A and B are shown apart, each in its own frame.
Chain A
């Protein structure tokens, strides 16, 4: 194999000085690859799927010696024969087999930067040997030289370079030490037309008989012995001490619960402020646009449909950003791998692997990023089970619904309200575990893939990496909100707006009366009356709209749960996002959308057709249970279908969740009624 330097890879506007080049960044997981990538490309990177797959790579540009370099951060891998789909695709990308890598050409990268962890080169040399053998121009970056120094490890880079047949540059990606030298070496390698020469011992390794990996490890061991000096025994006493707590059967579980609890407390507490700003921002924008546009359907479409709909979902952005910021920090420290070990003990019993705990944890903020992050689960069966149960966990959009129900059930009793919240969260978790177990015994038979996970040494987290991950995830969510969620918002707006109905006689009379009052100078009374008339008109419009009629149509079906058609309309409208049910009920109870206290008063006063209170204890509890379990979220369904690879799974998910929610709500309603009387 000979190396060629392509001169026509990228279609850049102005011809680059030395020709553009694609450079792939390859290395083991936990070797500091992301840090190096971020240091080389800064904030100019973007996340892109390798064409035709869901495997994401980050790609970024950097200029080295006037040459425009596209750096491609391939997924971390331990060897080129790793069986996970992500790593198989990374391998194909490296070999130039993946179609249209970098969206430009169907070819292999012009050069490879191979990252080795200096604190453990023996392990890293397995992949290194395989990559070097591919014959592409390769530069080796020996990372974490500072940590190696501290651990008393010395590496002779000259002899390592001779063993590997390529330039070896010691760097510290975190501090940036050695990066200029790495750029220089890469530039020199790209400029040189020399074919890659494979060292003899390495080439002997791949052809020898027996277990190829075994032979490679023997070679790696030899290289380490010849090039590195390290002290005896475990080189990381801190990791040893910390792990004696974090992987302990009892202490490990306790610290796991404590860490997760702290993380969620922080997410909900800190995110509360920016969420308030976003909410008022969208309200202000809606008000401003509403005033600027002429009144009518278009005004309503823009204000209620587009701004209101998208705003209702984007308000969760701070929580999602914080979640990924904290998860990234935790991952950097090395704790997440321990958390996978601890949670594996629990989750294996219901057929979920320990690795599914990050997606399931994320689902407590929002099921959409949770389902998207289920890609980290290697095994397809395990991934499907995770996707199927993730929306059962209490996401933020359910919180306004829980808040409404608790306000109706136990007004001004924070302790009881907190207990209802805990109950709702626990119900979601229990349901998710139960359904995972059922899936395990039915459509997704089999066992969760047994755990094998590297527990990297503990390190101080890297804020810069965490920040970049956060921006990345936030962007992905906003793009979803900008497309899928926008579309759904518009469709639901239409079903709640059309067909138009004539204003009720009562409201018309009120408006006339208001005009008379205004003429008499009683401005305040006139305004109050106009407001009331407007609320009546919106309530009437909603009742007669498609959504309203749907609500009335499903009334017979939801009657056994204690709901009447008004809640039916709320359920129909909540497919956009669950919290929409609160604003829909506000409109239906003719209180407008502003005043929560007024809404609760009005709801408490609401009566059913037979004169009994509409929101009895039984109805409230049944409504709570329904919203804990039901799949009232079309955006999640769409993401689930995409990630599971088929609409079949999304349909099954929707069906089982609706059936489960209906059944559980029915049981709740009947038993509460029997108990309360």
Chain B
């Protein structure tokens, strides 16, 4: 119980997939977002139980998620509310990064995304 940064660091170095992060689609797992960055949820691959819990709280395809604080649990903001979220769940959530330079490759139109920017 000395430092809480260490396990999180370990997770990052072993799991981070740089190729994917800089790829064309800019699709990364939620835990790879940087502080202040946002992503549109693409897919969740968690147990059925966790899937229901996450979706009910707004971690649902099509929603925008902002990363507020890294760590485990991490803090994200979705639909105007902050959530504490275990890293192991965040790893299983695929998001499309919505900040430049990456262009957003989703099934959403730009008009829809503009509408969401005000959320």
Contact = CB atoms under 8 A, between A and B. Distances in A.
Contacts of A122: 79-80, 119
A607 interface: no
B56 A213 contact: yes
A82 interface: yes
B75 interface: yes
Contacts of B79: 120, 122-123, 217
Given A217-B58, A345-B71, A452 B84 contact: yes
Interface string A597-638: 000000000000000000000000000000000000000000
A456 B75 CA distance: 12
Given A211-B61, A221-B115, A249 B4 contact: yes
A444 interface: no
B112 to A, nearest CB: 9
B12 interface: no
B62 A83 contact: no
Interface stretch (A36-44, A229-237, A479-487): A229-237
B86 interface: yes
A567 to B, nearest CB: 36
A344 B73 contact: yes
B82 A123 contact: no
A123 B73 CA distance: 22
B55 interface: yes
Contacts of A123: 58, 79-81
B81 to A, nearest CB: 6
Contacts of B89: 450-452
A70 to B, nearest CB: 28
Contacts of B88: 450
A346 B86 CA distance: 13
A455 B73 CA distance: 12
Interface string A348-367: 11000010000000000000
Contact of B118 (A83, A120, A126, A230): A230
Interface residues of B, number: 39
Interface in B9-67: 48-50, 52-63
A454 B57 contact: yes
Nearest to B3: A249
A239 B81 CA distance: 10
Contact of A120 (B69, B75, B80, B116): B80
Contacts of A51: none
Name which of A78, A253, A455 has the most chain B CB atoms within 10 A of its CB.
A455
Interface size class of A (residues with CB under 8 A): 35 or more
B117 to A, nearest CB: 8
A341 interface: yes
A451 B84 contact: yes
A243 interface: yes
Given A122-B79, A213-B56, A217-B58, A450 B84 contact: no
Contacts of B49: 83, 449
Contacts of A248: 69
B85 A451 contact: yes
B5 interface: yes
Nearest to B72: A345
A213 B61 CA distance: 9
Given A82-B52, A225-B115, A232-B118, A239 B82 contact: yes
A218 interface: yes
B62 to A, nearest CB: 5
Given A225-B115, A232-B118, A345-B4, A455 B71 contact: no
Contacts of A119: 80
Contact of B69 (A235, A247, A253, A456): A247
Name which of A213, A234, A248, A345 has the most chain B CB atoms within 10 A of its CB.
A213
Contacts of A239: 82
A83 B53 contact: yes
Interface string B71-109: 111010101111111101100000000000000000000
A550 to B, nearest CB: 42
Given A214-B62, A221-B116, A345-B72, A120 B81 contact: yes
Nearest to A244: B69
A453 interface: yes
A529 interface: no
A232 B80 CA distance: 11
B80 A235 contact: yes
Nearest to A379: B49
Contacts of A81: 52, 56
A392 B20 CA distance: 48
Given A211-B61, A344-B86, A247 B115 contact: no
Contacts of A253: 4
Going nearest first, the 8 A-B pairs with the smallest beta carbon separation are A450-B86, A341-B84, A78-B56, A455-B82, A79-B56, A451-B86, A213-B55, A453-B84
27 contacts: A83-B48, A119-B80, A122-B80, A122-B119, A123-B58, A123-B79, A123-B80, A123-B81, A213-B56, A213-B60, A214-B55, A214-B61, A221-B116, A235-B80, A243-B68, A243-B75, A247-B75, A248-B69, A249-B4, A345-B4, A348-B72, A450-B86, A452-B59, A452-B84, A452-B89, A453-B73, A453-B83
Interface of A: 77-79, 81-83, 119-120, 122-123, 126, 211, 213-214, 217-218, 221, 225, 230, 232, 234-235, 239, 243-244, 247-249, 253, 337-338, 340-341, 344-346, 348-349, 354, 449-456
Given A217-B63, A455-B75, 9 more contacts: A81-B52, A214-B62, A217-B62, A221-B115, A221-B119, A232-B118, A243-B75, A348-B72, A451-B86
Interface of B: 1, 4-5, 48-50, 52-63, 68-69, 71-73, 75, 77, 79-86, 88-89, 115-116, 118-119
